[in-house]
Amino acid sequence: MAPSIPIFPEQASTLASRVDNLYFFMLATSGFFAVLVTVLVVFFAIKYRRRHPDEHGEPIHGSLALELIWTGIPFIIAMVMFVWGASVYFALVRVPEQALDVYAVGKQWMWKFQHREGQREINELHVPVNTPIRVIMTSEDVLHDLFFPAFRTKMDALPGRYTQLWFTATKTGTFHIFCAEYCGTRHSGMIGHVTVMTQADYENWLGGGSAGGSLADKGQQLFSQFACITCHRSDAQGRGPVLNGLLGSTVHLANGNTLTADAAYVRESILNPTAKVVTGFQPIMPTFQGQVTEEQILALTEYIKSLPAAAAGSGGTGGAGASPAPPTPGPTK
């Protein structure tokens, strides 16, 4: 990077200019008031300077009209700023339907990215230009924050939870990734680059090296390795619910509630299986807390996502139609 002196960050995403426009509006408005007050203060200070030691100011006590004006005008301007800020915010948090998912896991002191196609990167992220990208992130230890200054977006990565951000890069090139939430000794070393490539370059890059197959393939290996497959069978004969077509479907829970299955639900069900038990099943699944990493959970989720939806006729009900497990309460690992 050339050591030139930047005065403004590069605009490299579709939303960057929207954020910047709001910034310029704020600069103009507050600049106006700053200059107004400063000029008045300086002008008064000179015009009404004390000319002899016993002088007094004129006893002017106030003016309701003026008070109302300078309460009302800032209030209106503030509301304009709020509405504008909120509208930009909606754009920043509302992920486009067709966004491409990338997974990020923060760990002291690195960012680990996983592509669905199987590529894994550390402190480097390759994305195609003009494509909405959603980064789903979590943390393995403390709080981190994934910050893309050129895309004007950031989000905290929290342990035990998934958060997300999205952007559509508009320029090819290399831009900063920072960790923006203080995370310990090498916080300032938790930086990297996002490389925005043309669609073709990106395809090439994807083709370049995915030794272990796609993320879903990796998930499949883990699915066998952790013996998930013994209970979660696709033929609806297992002791656990069928997972085909789970994500996005409505799950009916034993306590009568329903929920829409998402990545957080899958993660919770792996680490904390009895928290949300599917109706018709016993709370017999052991926890995998401490045995499975965040990245592996993401791979498992990706595998579950890749399962054909229509298997065994259980459809989108998350296995609710499957025959319930035999009633085996108590310790059955």
Partner 1 sequence: MTTTAAAPTALPARHYLNEQEGVKSWLLTTDHKRIALLYLFSITAFFFLGGFFALLIRLQLLTPTGALMDSDTYNKVFTMHGVIMVFFFLIPSIPATLGNFLLPIMIGAKDLAFPKINLLSWYIYVLGGLFALAALIGGGVDTGWTFYTPYSSMSSNSRVLTAGVGIFITGFSSILTGLNFIVTTHRMRAPGMTWFRLPLFVWAQYATSLIMVLGTPVIAITVLLMAFERVLRVGIFDPSIGGDPVLFQHLFWFYSHPAVYIMVLPGMGVISELIASGARKNVFGYSFVAFSSLAIAIIGFLVWGHHMFVAGQTAYAGLVFSIITYLVGVPSAVKTFNWTATLYKGSISYDTPTLYAFGFIGLFLIGGLTGLFLAAIGLDIHLTDTYFVVAHFHYIMVGGTLMAYLGGLHFWWPKISGRLYPDAWARLSAVLVFAGFNLTFLPQFVAGYIGMPRRYAMYPPEFQVYNILSTAGATILGAGYLFPMIYLTWSWFYGKPAGDNPWGSKGLEWETTSPPPTFNFDTTPIVTEATHQYGHHEEVKVV
Partner 2 sequence: MSHLEDGHDHILPATTYYGIFAVLMVLTAATVAAAFVDLGPLNIIVALAIAVVKASLVVLIFMHVKYGDRLNWVVVGAGVFWLFILLSMLMLDYSSRGWMNVPPIQHVS
Partner 3 sequence: MSDAALTQGLHAAHHPRQMHHFDSMAQQKETATFGMWVFLVTEIMFFGGMFAAYMLYRMWYFPGFAAASSELDITLGGTNTVVLIGSSLTVAMAVHAAQLGKRNQTVWLLIATGVLGVVFLVIKYFEYKVKFAGHHLPDGGMIWLFPGREFQLGPFIYGGFDVSQSPELAPIASQVRIFMVIYFALTGMHALHMIIGIGILAVILRMAIRGEFSKEWHIPVEIFGLYWHFVDIVWIFLFPLLYLVHRHG
By the rule CB under 8 A, 330 interacts with partner 3: yes
Which of the residues 259 through 278 are near partner 3 (CB under 8 A)?
A: 272-275
CA distance 250 to 243: 12
**What is the helix (H) or strand (E) element at residue 120, kind and residue range?**
strand 120-122
CA distance 205 to 201: 6
By the rule CB under 8 A, 206 interacts with partner 2: no
| Phi/psi at 253 (5° precision) | -95, 160
Task: Answer with the entry of partner 1, partner 3, partner 2, none that 331 interacts with (C-beta below 5 to 8 A by kind).
Answer: partner 3
CA distance 128 to 296: 25
Which of the residues 132 through 161 are near partner 2 (CB under 8 A)?
A: 134, 136, 161
Residue 286: Cβ within 10 Å count: 11
Pick the closer one to partner 1 by CB: 14 or 234. 14
Task: Answer with the entry of partner 3, partner 1, partner 2, none that 1 interacts with (C-beta below 5 to 8 A by kind).
Answer: partner 1
Selection from 85, 89, 66, 88 nearest residue 77 by Cα = 85
* Distance in Å, CB of 17 to partner 2, minimum: 25
By the rule CB under 8 A, 84 interacts with partner 1: yes
Residue count at the site for partner 1 (CB under 8 A)?
A: 91
By the rule CB under 8 A, 329 interacts with partner 3: yes
Bridge partners, residue 278, by sequence:
253
Per the CB < 8 A criterion, the answer to whether 300 and 223 are in contact is yes
CA distance 285 to 294: 19
Provide the 8-state DSSP code for 253: B
Binding mask of the shown chain, residues 257 to 276, with x at each position contacting partner 2 by CB under 8 A: ---x-xxx------------
Residue count at the site for partner 2 (CB under 8 A)?
A: 22
By the rule CB under 8 A, 28 interacts with partner 1: no
Task: Answer with the entry of partner 3, partner 1, partner 2, none that 76 interacts with (C-beta below 5 to 8 A by kind).
Answer: none
